[in-house]
Amino acid sequence: GAGVSQTPSNKVTEKGKYVELRCDPISGHTALYWYRQSLGQGPEFLIYFQGTGAADDSGLPNDRFFAVRPEGSVSTLKIQRTERGDSAVYLCASSLAREEGEQFFGPGTRLTVL
């Protein structure tokens, strides 16, 4: 079956611009996660949705970052006034909302801020 998909696969933008990154989770997965991965580091948690609501947004670095999941399926990560330090691979994962649910990751979106 289809896995987690993310679009675009690559995004190059200029400092100060606004970007949107999209995640399509596996059908039926109610939990959705965003992570960010810098070069040479492990993924870093950003935000977790259970259904339509953000159950844990403690990893968002500042108020320039925002994510939505209006219908409990597709999610969009929005970054305002991008900075060079935002350059990273943004990973999305989804899982069934059960106690030991493994997370299935997408291929990521590589964001480069010039």
Partner 1 sequence: DAKTTQPPSMDCAEGRAANLPCNHSTISGNEYVYWYRQIHSQGPQYIIHGLKNNETNEMASLIITEDRKSSTLILPHATLRDTAVYYCIVRAPQGGSEKLVFGKGMKLTVNP
Contact footprint for partner 1 (CB under 8 A): 4, 31, 33, 35, 40-45, 48, 50, 55-56, 59, 91, 93, 95, 97-108
Minimum distance, C-beta of residue 4 to partner 1, in the bound complex (Å):
7
Nearer to partner 1, 3 or 16 (CB): 3
Minimum distance, C-beta of residue 12 to partner 1, in the bound complex (Å):
17
Nearer to partner 1, 82 or 109 (CB): 109
Task: Tell me how far apart the alpha carbons of residues 109 and 111 are, in angstroms, rounded to a whole number.
Answer: 6
Nearer to partner 1, 108 or 113 (CB): 108
In angstroms, the first-to-last Cα distance of the chain is 37
- 107 upstream amide cis, omega within 30 of 0: no
- Sequence-ordered list of residues with C-beta below 8 angstroms from that of 63, at least 6 positions apart, any chain: none
Task: Tell me how far apart the alpha carbons of residues 92 and 86 are, in angstroms, rounded to a whole number.
Answer: 16
Nearer to partner 1, 17 or 104 (CB): 104
